[in-house]
A and B are shown apart, each in its own frame.
Chain A
Amino acid sequence: MKYRDTLSGLVFFAIGVTTAWIGSGFYADTAYIPVGVGVLMSVFAVPLMVRGVVGNTMSTSMPLIHHPLRFFVTLACCVLFYFLLPIIGFYTTSTLFVIVMALLLGERRPAVVICVAVVFIALLYGLFAVVLKRPLPVEFFLAS
């Protein structure tokens, strides 16, 4: 039994059924495609589930996550980065994010990390703030 195929088939089947079920409540022709797509997804998920059940258990596939610690540290840093962006400001948060992430990912040359972070953020500032004048979250020390 190939658990991944069985499980992914089940998930797609559930998404298909839910899409069709919710879609059936839409008004007139607004429902055609949602119902059609939902039904098609459920239909195509069935062979995947069946193949998963009768499939070869010996088949090797790559692990879902190679290195869970680094994977979740990266994700956590991203969430924290997005959370702090509107509070601290784009350029300050981005500079801190580059420095912290680089150190967490194993870069052990602080001077290189700081230099790259500062030059990179300066280039972004020049392009987005000075040339293109794109509005980005304001720095906390500049907010009135």
Chain B
Amino acid sequence: MFESLFHALPVALQPDSLLSLVVGTLAGILIGALPGLNPVMAIALMLPLTYGFDPIIALGLVAGIYNGSMYGGAIPAILLKIPGTPAAIATTFDGYPMTRNGQGGLALKTACWSSAVGGVVSALALMTLAPLLAKVTLAFGPAEYFWVAVFGLTSIAVLVGKDLSKGILSALLGVIVGLVGIDTLSGEERYTFGSLYLVGGFDLIIVLIGLYAIPPILEMAEKRNESYFNADSFRVSAVAGGLGLLRNYWRTWSRSSLIGVCVGILPGAGGNLAALLSYNEAKRRAPDPDSFGKGNPVGIAAAESGNSADNASAMIPSLTLGIPGNLVAALVLGALMIHGLQPGPQLFTKSPDVVFGFMWQMLLTAMLLFVLGGMVATRLFAQVLRLPTALLVPTTLVLMAIGVYTVNGNVVDLYVMLAFGLVGYLLDRLEFPLAPVVLGVLLGPMAEQNFRLAMLISQNDASVLFTRPISQGIIALLLIVLLSQLWKYHRRNARSSAAPPSGSA
């Protein structure tokens, strides 16, 4: 295997291939940075244009767009609290507060380096562990997926925010929003109230932009005369990079990259789940967990390395077994078939240069992020904040409108986005965390679908959820997170009730 791997390196380093990597990565960063555009859409639009190209050039463009967009999504998440891609949700938690605190440059640089590190680790996993890891995915059934979704949902609900019950209520609200529309298993309409618009359910990106991006924009408009962003935010060059970042974040990067790789190989579990689980783990292990959500760069490092580590590993089941783990992986399979290659185990023997060349391209595009992301894109996009607030508000609103409109080409989506924005604004003011709402929309349907599939397969025997070893492992992890948080709440409440009330002296 390793002989074929090294034989493919010169193929990936051909000038045409290198050019496709640079073009793809730059395009990916731009696509990720624009809310409403995503790598799936970009790759789907690009594939028909590559019919006449060599497969390695087409795959180079795919690799560049995929890795570039993961970092690109972090740019508006950090600067404007608009997640450019769903995988950038967790990046907003600490990225935007850092921008408000005058550390926008550091936040962008941390995101860029973390994305690159996550991408490199993921590509190395793809190159070395692909056949072994592919077998692991086969051990996951509906019961395991159900627990993965419950674990993601519960851990974020109890870890984000100061109030346990508010976090759980937020998550449940998200699950209810995710229930709206036609049930995919039975075809029954749920909570549509006779509305044709609601039959398809709420689009995640519309809910996401509404809940996350509208509240800070409204706040910005309200405070137009006050200083909203700190001028130091813009200084990217003054921020230490390289070895300094490596020294600070290597533990977080290692842990998050491992989580991202593991999540990536599970079909259906995307970069957003990887980022949120990595963020939770970083917060849980931090000596100062209360600083998370207020502008802790470790939160960005965890989220970005986690979501980027999902990229190449998501290709493992598709390249080795022919089972696409996500939509991009499905498009890669499509690209291979367009060029007359049959995905599956025989791909490694029949076209080793293409498949191993693609692995090298995933690695090279992740490494390109250090250069293209850090030197070009970060400096360019950080200038956005130089606009006066009175101009930043309407231009951001137009950007959101175009992003949401292009999803379905429906003006009603804009009103829905605004409605979710008002709900988000209200929840924020009432001190309900917003992240669990989004996660509820995302993971609620995944949990329900797998729960019902498990019950269907076991003929309504609920013990199927608890008897398999992987399920038991996830349940144990879930209990550890829940009990440790309950213990923390208990201790905090005991401490605050023991302390004398302020001003009583």
Contact = CB atoms under 8 A, between A and B. Distances in A.
Interface of A: 4, 8, 12, 15-16, 19, 22-23, 26-30, 32-34, 37-38, 40-41, 44-45, 47-48, 61-62, 64-67, 70-71, 73-75, 77-79, 81-82, 85-86, 90, 94, 97-98, 100-102, 105-107, 112-113, 116, 120-121, 124, 127-128, 132, 134-137
A86 B409 CA distance: 11
B222 A65 contact: yes
Interface string B372-394: 00000000000000011111011
Contact of A116 (B221, B395, B430, B431): B395
B430 A41 contact: no
A98 B394 contact: yes
B394 A101 contact: yes
5 contacts: A27-B186, A32-B448, A44-B165, A71-B218, A74-B218
A16 B171 CA distance: 12
A2 B368 CA distance: 53
Given A40-B168, A98-B394, 20 more contacts: A8-B432, A15-B176, A27-B186, A28-B186, A34-B176, A34-B179, A41-B169, A41-B176, A62-B429, A70-B222, A70-B224, A73-B221, A78-B418, A90-B405, A107-B391, A113-B391, A121-B398, A124-B398, A128-B406, A136-B405
Most buried by A among B190, B223, B394, B431: B394
A36 to B, nearest CB: 9
B451 A40 contact: no
A37 B172 contact: yes
A12 B169 contact: yes
Nearest to A99: B394
B203 interface: no
B426 interface: yes
Nearest to A66: B222
A41 B165 CA distance: 10
A22 B456 CA distance: 23
B452 interface: yes
A62 B393 CA distance: 22
Contacts of B188: 26-27, 30
Nearest to A68: B222
Interface string B391-422: 10111011101100110010100110010001
B401 A30 contact: no
B418 A105 contact: no
B455 interface: yes
B401 A94 contact: yes
Q: How large is the interface on B (under 10, 10 to 19, 20 to 34, 35 or more residues)?
A: 35 or more
B455 A48 contact: no
A86 B402 contact: no
List 9 tightest A-B contacts by C-beta distance, closest first: A101-B394, A107-B390, A105-B390, A67-B222, A74-B221, A82-B414, A98-B394, A33-B448, A66-B222
B398 A120 contact: yes
Nearest to A107: B390
B172 A61 contact: no
A49 to B, nearest CB: 10
A32 B451 contact: yes
A21 to B, nearest CB: 12
A107 B388 contact: yes
A33 B394 CA distance: 40
A127 B406 CA distance: 13
Contacts of B218: 71, 74-75
Contacts of A71: 218, 221-222
B341 to A, nearest CB: 28
B45 interface: yes
A33 B169 CA distance: 15
Contacts of A132: 37, 45
B100 interface: no
Given A44-B169, A106-B225, A33 B179 contact: yes
Nearest to B226: A66
A107 B493 CA distance: 47
B321 to A, nearest CB: 30
B239 interface: no
A33 B397 contact: no
A35 to B, nearest CB: 11
A19 B175 CA distance: 11
A109 to B, nearest CB: 9
Contacts of A45: 165, 169
Interface string B146-166: 000000000000000000011
B219 interface: yes
B173 interface: yes
A34 B165 CA distance: 19
B191 interface: yes
A26 B190 contact: yes
Interface in B301-333: none
